[in-house]
């Protein structure tokens, strides 16, 4: 369910997506409000779940995670009956940054990071392929990143 947002709140969200560490004083200057009403709006956006958390974005390559892999996972009939069990296992793997349930030939799409292809191979054989219900995994290695953003296009 979407939340009604006014122009100030949209400006606040765009500014925080650009820099979540911005001070309330600076944020209020950016959006054209005084600090107190600006803080109240941010507080409301957090309480209503529009802002789910504020984080630091880390450059994966600068911390040694040079391989990015997209894995499409197909579960067997028994596995599809236990999607929640598979999803819970995937959530426990720090290498998996994103996981989506799909409609179509594959059941899940995973975005995985690893130090290199050898590290992904170890993850693949020791963890991912050993999960109950896995029938097929189609891995695609990303050669380079053309665009990566966490900012939503808020009009």
pLDDT in tens, 51-102: 999 999 999 999 999 999 999 999 998 767 788 999 999 999 999 999 999 9
pLDDT in tens, 129-143: 999 999 999 999 999
Helix (H) or strand (E) holding 25: helix 24-31
DSSP-assigned beta bridge partners for residue 139: 71
7-47 folds as Arc Repressor Mutant, subunit A (1.10.10)
* Spatial separation of the C-alpha atoms in residues 66 and 63, rounded to whole Å: 8
Round the CA-based radius of gyration of the chain to a whole number and report it.
20
Residue 50 Cα distances to 6, 37, 54, angstroms: 13, 17, 11
Global pTM?
Answer: 0.88
Nearest to 73 by CA among 94, 32, 101: 101
* Spatial separation of the C-alpha atoms in residues 41 and 7, rounded to whole Å: 11
Residue 63 Cα distances to 58, 59, 68, 113, angstroms: 8, 7, 13, 11
Question: What's residue 79's pLDDT?
Answer: 66
Alpha-helix residue ranges (DSSP H) falling in 35-134: 35-47, 77-81, 83-91, 117-126
**Residue 155 — very low, low, confident or very high, per pLDDT cuts 50/70/90?**
confident
**Beta strand pairing call for 108-114 and 67-75:** antiparallel
Predicted confidence (pLDDT) at residue 6 exceeds the cutoff of 90: yes
Domain ranges of the chain: 7-47, 60-141
What is the mean predicted confidence (pLDDT) over 39-57? 96
Cβ atoms of residues 151 and 17 within 8 Å: yes
60-141 folds as Alpha-Beta Plaits (3.30.70)
* Spatial separation of the C-alpha atoms in residues 61 and 115, rounded to whole Å: 8
């Amino acid at each position: 369910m979407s939340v009604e947002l006014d122009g100030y709140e949209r400006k606040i969200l765009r500014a925080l997506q650009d820099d979540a560490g911005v001070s309330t004083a600076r944020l209020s200057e950016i959006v054209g409000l005084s600090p107190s009403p600006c803080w109240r709006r941010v507080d409301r956006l957090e309480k209503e779940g529009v802002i789910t958390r504020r984080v630091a974005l880390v450059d994966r390559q600068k911390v040694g995670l040079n391989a990015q892999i997209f894995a499409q996972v197909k579960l067997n009939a028994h596995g599809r009956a236990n999607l929640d069990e598979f999803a819970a296992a995937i959530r426990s793997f720090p290498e998996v940054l994103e996981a989506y349930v799909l409609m179509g030939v594959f059941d899940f799409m995973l975005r995985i990071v690893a130090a290199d292809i050898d590290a992904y191979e170890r993850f693949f054989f020791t963890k991912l392929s050993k999960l109950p219900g896995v029938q097929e995994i189609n891995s695609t290695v990303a050669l380079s990143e053309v665009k990566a953003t966490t900012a939503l296009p808020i009009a």
